[in-house]
Chain A
Amino acid sequence: EAGVAQSPRYKIIEKRQSVAFWCNPISGHATLYWYQQILGQGPKLLIQFQNNGVVDDSQLPKDRFSAERLKGVDSTLKIQPAKLEDSAVYLCASSFSGGHEDTQYFGPGTRLTVL
């Protein structure tokens, strides 16, 4: 079974530029998550989708971050404009149904450096 795919793996940009990350979840998984992991900390949820609808985006900085999940499969996370404090690893995860007992499967992440 293929895992969660993410691209790119690494990205370096200057502040005020824009960047986009892509995620392809495990086939058949209804729930997709984007997390931000700052160095030395645990991942923090940014947004959760159930199929193509948003379940929770309470921690997403909506003035600069946006995300979509068209057709309930792939998802894109965008940052525009980027700030220095956005330097982090962005993790995508998926789970079968999104229940609290469900296991979330993580992709390899995209490491973003903002200069």
Chain B
Amino acid sequence: GDSVTQMEGPVTLSEEAFLTINCTYTATGYPSLFWYVQYPGEGLQLLLKATKADDKGSNKGFEATYRKETTSFHLEKGSVQVSDSAVYFCASSGAGSYQLTFGKGTKLSVIP
């Protein structure tokens, strides 16, 4: 079945550092890919998505590019802020089954 693997956390960065959270997927066909974010005490929110190969999703300074050749969708941000501290989930929605398959989540802490 479909699966999503993302880098283990927690990740601690200083403010203005560069962020990369790796995500790879296995799926039949060509899934849509998503990054969701969960801020402390809040529900899951969509951060960005890409629905076909080579698409780049972007939002709030975060970016991720759908790489079919490496089955990856790595999340990047050039300069993180304390307010970016949250848990980040990578997810795929396969063409054969429309359910979201989530990774385990990566907790990011940004310190001033």
Contacts and interface: CB of A to CB of B under 8 A. Distances in A.
B99 A45 contact: yes
Contact of A41 (B43, B93, B104): B104
B100 interface: yes
A25 interface: no
Interface residues of B, number: 25
A74 B42 CA distance: 21
A100 B94 contact: yes
Contacts of A42: 4, 89, 91, 102-105
Contacts of A43: 44, 89, 100, 102
A52 to B, nearest CB: 17
A99 B91 CA distance: 15
A65 to B, nearest CB: 16
B42 A108 contact: yes
Given A33-B99, A42-B89, A42-B105, A100 B44 contact: no
Contacts of A107: 43
A41 B93 CA distance: 18
Interface in B29-44: 31-32, 34, 36, 42-44
Contact of A104 (B4, B95, B97, B100): B100
A98 interface: yes
A33 B49 CA distance: 19
A48 B94 CA distance: 14
A108 B102 contact: no
A14 interface: no
Interface in A2-23: 4
Interface of B: 4, 31-32, 34, 36, 42-46, 49, 51, 89, 91, 93-95, 97-100, 102-105
19 contacts: A33-B100, A42-B4, A42-B89, A42-B91, A43-B44, A43-B100, A44-B102, A48-B99, A56-B97, A56-B99, A91-B44, A100-B32, A100-B95, A100-B98, A103-B46, A105-B46, A107-B43, A108-B42, A109-B43
